[in-house]
A and B are shown apart, each in its own frame.
Chain A
């Protein structure tokens, strides 16, 4: 079965702690993305990576970090510098070619920081 997996589904952390969200895909997609979704705000791009060992900041990268050491994995770390980390986090992937292709989404991780 091809797809994108995110773990865990729900995550609870105390303020001041870093936390890493997992994203794995077996679709052989080159590009991977992290989005944050808050109520009434749609999806906002945090970081994206078009190829292994390379990634770029999205619109709201402050307080987050990523790595792309393997094609199939793109973990996101929410650091203590992120002022409002409680949100629903979605990972996506897509083929990176000349044409336009849709992004496929994982099931998401709901992070609650208290």
Chain B
């Protein structure tokens, strides 16, 4: 059974802090790892990672994948209150284009 584990489950930081969110996985026939941000309703896509060691970056957010150690991290620098959300990690594996999601990390950024 495919498994995706995120840590920590929740996190409270002050505005301006840097945070690192973790995602580890155990799946058969890995294809890609995706990060989503969920504020109130629909998760919105952040990154898709398929190759080890190549950092993807978008503004203050960045992510990298380690396919040998089976994990990914999502970094957010200079956090803002608008970064408060649930961050979901999902892994696509096998041939059916199914995603297995982790439980998410709830990030709260305070003033």
Residues of A within 8 A of B (CB): 4, 31, 33, 35, 40-45, 48, 50, 56, 58, 90, 94, 96, 100-108
- Residue contact B97 to A105, C-beta cutoff 8 Å: no
Chain A CB count within 10 A is highest, among B32, B43, B90, B103, for B43
Whether a CB of chain A sits under 8 angstroms from the CB of B61 is no
Whether a CB of chain A sits under 8 angstroms from the CB of B111 is no
- Residue contact A90 to B43, C-beta cutoff 8 Å: yes
Q: How far is the CA of A59 from the CA of B102 in the complex (A)?
A: 14
Q: Please, which residue of chain B has its CB at the minimum distance from the CB of A108?
A: B41
- Residue contact A56 to B45, C-beta cutoff 8 Å: no
Q: Which residues of A contact B90 (CB under 8 A)?
A: 43
Q: Which residues of A contact B97 (CB under 8 A)?
A: 31, 48, 50, 94, 96, 100-101
Q: Which residues of B contact A44 (CB under 8 A)?
A: 101
Residues of B within 8 A of A (CB): 6, 9, 31-32, 34, 36, 41-45, 48, 50, 88, 90, 92, 96-104
Q: Which residues of B contact A35 (CB under 8 A)?
A: 101
- Residue contact B103 to A45, C-beta cutoff 8 Å: no
- Residue contact B42 to A105, C-beta cutoff 8 Å: yes
Q: Which residues of B contact A42 (CB under 8 A)?
A: 6, 88, 101-104
Q: Which residues of B contact A4 (CB under 8 A)?
A: 42
Closest 8 A-B residue pairs measured CB to CB? A100-B32, A105-B42, A42-B103, A43-B101, A42-B101, A102-B45, A107-B41, A108-B41
- Residue contact B98 to A58, C-beta cutoff 8 Å: yes
Q: How far is the CA of A74 from the CA of B86 in the complex (A)?
A: 26
Q: Which residues of B contact A33 (CB under 8 A)?
A: 98-99
